Chains A and B, each alone.
Chain A
Amino acid sequence: MTDLENRPDSGVVRHEPEEPIADPGLPPHELRPTDVDEKAERRAERQVAGMFLLSAVFTVLFCVSYFVFAIGDDPTMVLGLGASNVALGFCLGMALLLIGVGAIQWARKLMGDEEIVEMRHPARSSDEDREEAVASLTEGVEQSGIGRRPLIRNTLLLSTGLLGVPAIIALRDLGPLPGDKLYHTVWRKWMRVVQDVTGTPIKPEDLQVGQLVNAQPDVFYRPFNPKDSDGDDLTAAQAEARGEEPLEVPEGVELQQEKAKAATIVVRMEPSDITPSKGREDWGIDGILAYSKICTHVGCPISLWEQQTHHLLCPCHQSTFDLADNGKVIFGPANRALPQLPLMVDPDGYLVAQSDYTEPVGPSFWERG
């Protein structure tokens, strides 16, 4: 039985048993005070019109306050807030709100509110329409002769198929492949560890137990000269003989990218609290250790270090690393220990790196698994 046949007026004889509870149908229509009382009707009319008028007033006030209130360095203030923002927001908000409220009041009080039943119609097209559509499609295929002319069909397939190639070629604009960039940072042997922002080089005796330094490599502040095996600067001639060039301070996008990878935190703990894993015994100096600042989960910068528990917490997804235990993950979604930067002291007594990070910093990527 279709919905059509279920209509009370369809004339089809019902075969189903009587419903257990009879359909009570629509209740009798009741009139509103505005339907019977002319005074009430006029009052409602005035209310609606009043709201629309008030809305217009607020729109005008919006335009006025746009020009009246000062913005910029010395803004007009009201209640400690910017007067321009407050007035613009309030006026536009009220203008829109009053149109909406007026419309609802209009519908509730004045528009006709007779209850109406509208039956649902079947979604299927009639059989004639369906046959006609199939017939015209078949005729079209027949007349185009696409089945009889394979040359045209195949060349068309070729030309449309090839259109996918430009889309793939354009992917190259996403930039060159990363190569081995993700495996290296700007850190290298003898490069000084300096405080971020100020560029202050750090001596081990400057650090107290419980100290944290947000550090960056010195090359972001001063050019890095090639060093000999004792950590002393090479002269220009010696450097040339060895085929090494001084590293210039990176600028612009390059600086930002290198900073994002090379960011490091230096902490000092009681040496007795630290349990270095095999091969890392000489990576610190008297309890001073350096770790990558980039979380191995999705790469947020982390420096929420609790000096008493030695835990480093990532604010994004609560990954927690134990810096006294080789940066081991002790909680959260991160999958890898925080990479550690091996430290030593240069001839002038400043903290320097022994090498670059020994593993890629930051989150996992495709080739790394």
Chain B
Amino acid sequence: MRLLSQTTRRLAGGLSRHRRRKLAGPAVLLIALMLTGGLFALFSPAQAETKKANDADDVAAGRALFLVGCSSCHGANGEGIATKRGNNYGPPLVGVGAAAVDFQVGTGRMPLAGPTVQAPRKKVSYTKEEIQQLGAYVQSLGPGPAVPESEEYDPNEGDVSRGGAIFRTNCTACHNFAGAGGALPGGKYAPKLTDVSSKHIFEALLTGPQQMPVFSNDVLTPADKRDVISYLRQNDDAPKYGGFSMGTLGPVSEGMFAWLVGIGVLVGFAVWIAAHTARAKKAVKGGQQ
């Protein structure tokens, strides 16, 4: 107790000593000015305008990129192009949002190399900045889901076991119990999830690319989505304690292994057992027989 009161007295003394110094007044003034200036800069309309101007720049740059790379299928204003039969040549992009652009272009699915039943994942053709500009342009066509913030899909924050329950109910039907993907009718497929970034998984859930249904934030909340991502990441990192997983495709790959390798080895042994042994041309040992 005595020690405490001594320290406080010493500290207070120190402060008051500094306050009396010559430079103390100007220093306080300087700090106050900087604070005011900083606050003003934060809230001033000028700053907001710069941000808007930046956005406008992004939209303009995105539109330029869009006209070159995307408009041949999606139309010059992202309105989509319909075929004679009424199907989509390229779907309209009004309202799909920046998240859809970030997923489709960020995983290389767009631009599409040719008309196929499903856009395959391939090498990404645009830089991060260009993808952001394209997203800004598409977002300007009509409000849609924005690119999620990094804390929304941080796998370290989620509840793994809850995510597992959500995953098994909603995702395993198409994407397999271990996220290894699976086949759909007509040559379509659900891609594997093991090497997809957390952000892209979040965006896919949010926007429902291609045949995948939408899982909107109002029903499957961002926290639910983060739990699913945590479960998937945990699954990726889990040691293969039981042995080779063979793609975790279940009976298909395991049965194939048993038929080809297992029965193949058994056939090899059968051939060895039944094969003729080498015969000697030499004389009989010891003269008998």
Interface mask (B201-240 → A, CB under 8 Å = 1, otherwise 0): 0000000101111111011110010000000000000011
A81 within 8 A of B: yes
Cα distance A331–B184 in the bound complex, in angstroms: 13
A35-B173 contact, Cβ under 8 Å, with A81-B244, A195-B220, A313-B185: no
B211→A309 contact, CB < 8 A: yes
A198, closest chain B residue (CB): B224
Does B213 lie within 8 Å of A35, measured CB to CB?
no
Q: Name the B residues within 8 Å of A82 (CB-CB).
A: 239-243
Number of A positions contacting B (CB below 8 A): 53
- Answer whether A214 and B170 are a contact pair too, CB < 8 Å, given A86-B243, A197-B165, A208-B214: yes
Stretch from B134-142, B256-264, B277-285 forming part of the interface with A: B277-285
Contact mask A189-219 → B, CB, 8 Å, 1/0?
0000001111010110111111111100000
Closest residue of chain A to B278 (Cβ to Cβ) is A33
Say yes or no: is B82 at the interface (Cβ < 8 Å to chain A): no
Which residue of A85, A109, A200, A212 is within 8 Å of B277 (Cβ)?
Answer: A109
Q: How far is the CB of B41 from chain A (nearest CB, A)?
A: 39
Contact call B213/A305, Cβ cutoff below 8 A:
yes
- Interface membership of A308, Cβ < 8 A: yes
- Among candidates B188, B218, B224, residue contacting A206 with C-beta atoms closer than 8 Å: B218
Min CB distance B28 to A, Å, is 53
Residues on B with beta carbons closer than 8 Å to the beta carbon of A311: 185
Q: Determine if A197 and B213 form an interchain contact, defined as CB atoms under 8 angstroms apart.
A: no
CB-based nearest A residue for B223: A198
* Assembly CA distance A249 to B283 (angstroms): 91
CB neighbors of B among A1-46 (8 A): 30-33, 35-38
Q: Is the Cβ of A307 less than 8 Å from the Cβ of B208? A: yes
B36 to chain A, nearest CB (A): 44
Whether, in the assembled complex, A296 has its beta carbon less than 8 Å from a beta carbon of chain B, the answer is: no
In the complex, whether A80 has a CB less than 8 A from a CB of chain B is: yes
Chain B residues numbered 161-199 whose CB sits less than 8 Å from any CB in chain A: 162, 165-166, 169-170, 173-174, 182, 184-185, 188
Given the complex, which residues of A lie within 8 Å of B34, measured CB to CB?
A: none
B29 interfacial by beta-carbon distance below 8 Å: no
| Distance A212 CA – B218 CA, assembled complex (angstroms) | 12
Cα separation A109 to B283 with both chains bound (whole Å): 17
Q: Are B241 and A211 in contact (CB under 8 A)?
A: no
By a CB distance below 8 angstroms, the chain B residues around A211 are 208, 213-216, 219
Check B285–A206 contact: CB distance below 8 A: no
Q: Check A30 against B184 for contact (C-beta < 8 Å).
A: no
Asked if residues A75 and B216 are in contact (CB atoms below 8 Å), the reply is no
B30 at the interface (CB under 8 A from A): no
Is B43 among interface residues, defined by CB-CB distance under 8 A?
no
User: Chain A contacts of B252 at CB under 8 A?
Assistant: none
Are A200 and B221 touching (Cβ within 8 A)? yes
The residues of A that contact B219 with a CB separation of less than 8 Å are: 195, 200, 202, 206-207, 211, 213
Could you write out 27 A-B pairs with CB less than 8 Å apart? A31-B280, A31-B284, A32-B279, A37-B282, A37-B285, A80-B240, A81-B239, A82-B243, A85-B243, A195-B219, A198-B166, A198-B220, A198-B221, A206-B218, A206-B219, A210-B208, A210-B213, A211-B214, A303-B170, A303-B173, A304-B173, A304-B174, A307-B211, A307-B213, A307-B214, A308-B211, A311-B185
The 5 closest A-B pairs by CB, nearest first: A212-B213, A206-B218, A82-B241, A306-B211, A211-B214
